[in-house]
Amino acid sequence: MHAVEKIFARHSGRREVSAGEIVTARVDFAEINDLYLQTIYSFYEMGGEKVWDREKCAFVFDHYAPTPDVRSAGNHRQMREFARKNQLKYHFDTNCGVCHQVMPEAGLIRPGMIVVATDSHTTTHGAFGAVGTGCGATDMAAVLMTGEMWFRVPEVIEVRLEGETKKGVYPKDVILAVLGKIRADGAVYKAIDFTGSYVEGLNVAGRMVICNMAVEMGAKTAYMQPNQEVLSYVNARCSCPYEVETTDPGYVYGERYLFDVSALEPQLACPSSVENVRPLPEVAAEKEVRVDQGYIGSCTGGREEDLAAAAAILKGKHIPPYTRLVVVPASREVMLAAMEKGYLKDLMEAGATVATPGCGACLGAHEGILAPGEVCISSTNRNFPGRMGSTEAQIYLASPAAVAASILNGRITDPRTCL
C-alpha cells in the first residue's frame, strides 16, 4: 500500500484498503474556520450536545480577522460561545493567523494523522506526512459529534520533482509549473504524492506551499514523506507520539509525472485561472503589465521565508507613487519573527502596509480588496474573477519575490533582476 492508504487503513481499523473503497475513519483533529458558522447550526439540528473530544477540535478566526462587518462579528460571537460551552482546549482567535499555519505551530499536526477542516487548502498538512482534507459544514458537524468521517480512499498519483532550482526560483514557481501541466481538473479526488530529490531537500515552508496548492488541481489530499527537517519541526513543538508511514516498495501509482526543476524559470499564473501558467520572463517580454497592488500573504505566501525574500528585494528602496503593497503575515508567530529580524521594518520603509495576520484580501473580504479595472500581483493561491474583490480586477499569481520586484518597478518583473 501507499503511505496514504496505510493511514486510512489504520484509522478505519482495517489491515488494508485500496483506491475506491469507502471507509469510515477516525479523525485526529478537526478545525472550523470563521466562514462556517453553519457547522454549529448543523451540529444542533443533528442532535449534537457536546463535541466528541474537547482536545481534538478548534475554531480558527482567520478569514475575518479582525471582523470587517457586523455579520462576521456576530458569527465570531456565536463561535466563541460554542467553544466556551464545550471548553475547547484550543481556540485561535483574531490574534493568531491562518488555520494552516497556526495548527502546525501549535504542535497539532503530526505525521500519520487524519486532519479535516472547513477549508479546501487543508491539503497543506501533507507537508508533514499527514492526510489533510477539507469538508463542508454538515460533514464537520458529524465529525464534532462522532470523531469519525467517511472517505472514499483516493487513487494516488506521483509528482516527482527532481533537481535543484536556480537562484530566484522558489517553491511557488515549482507548484505553478506543476499546475500548468496537470491543470485544474487533473487530480480530482486523487491524492498527490510529491517525491524526488527536490522534495527531499525542501524545508517545512516550501513543502507547505506545494502541498497547499495541490487542491488547485482538484486533489483530495497531498502527501510528502517526512524528511528530517519536518521531524525536527514536529518534535520541537509536540510531545505526542506519532507514526510515520512509508510506501511499500513496488507500489504502482495511478499516474506519474516527472519535472526537472533545475530548468525552471520564475512562473506566473495569469488571469483568470490558476492553471493559466506561463514563464514570467516571457509575459514580461511580450508587453508591459502595469500593477496597482502587490499582495504578500495567505496560507501560501505569508511565511517568514516569504517576508524575508520580499524584504531582501525592497530594503532601502521604495515602491512608486499611487501603488501599494499589502503584507499579511500568515500568523502571529511569523509576524513576531519578521519584526525581530527587521523584515517588517524594511517592508514598511519601502511603502508596504502591514495588516493583521490572517487570510486578509485572499478571499476578497478586507485588508486590500481590489477595485474594478485594477491589477494585482499576489503570492496567494487563487486568481479567478472576484477572488480579491471586484470581478473586473485582474490577479496574477507569483512568488513573494516576484511580487516585491513587480511592485517596486510598477510592472510585472522577473525577480532575478532584483537579486
Binding-site members for [4Fe-4S] cluster are 299, 359, 362
Residue 392: half-sphere exposure toward Cβ, Cα within 13 Å:
3
Burial-class residue 22 by CB neighbours within 10 Å (0-12, 13-18, 19+).
exposed
Left if phi > 0, otherwise alpha if psi is -120 to 50, otherwise beta: which for 322? left
- The residues facing 290 across adjacent strands are 411
| Nine cell digits for residue 209 | 506551499
d(CA 287, CA 292): 16
Q: Provide the 8-state DSSP code for 415.
A: G
Tell me the residue type at 368: G
Contact at 8 Å (CB) between 54 and 87? yes
Written as one string, the DSSP assignment of 182-242 is H-TTTTTTEEEEEESHHHHT--HHHHHHHHHGGGGGT-SEEE----HHHHHHHHHH--S--
Measured CA to CA, the distance from residue 340 to residue 333 in angstroms comes to 11
- Binding residues are 299, 359, 362
SS3 154: coil
Q: Is 348 helix (H, G, I), strand (E, B) or coil?
A: helix
Dist CA 97 CA 79 (whole Å): 16
The whole-angstrom separation of Cα 97 and Cα 358 is 4
Phi, psi of 32 (to 5 degrees): -120, 125
Distance of alpha carbon 276 from the chain centroid: 19
Radius of gyration in angstroms for the set of CA atoms belonging to the chain, rounded to a whole number: 21
**Total H helices, total E strands in the chain:** 15, 18
CA dist 277 and 383 (Å) reads 11
Determine the straight-line distance between the first and last CA of the chain, rounded to whole angstroms. Answer: 44
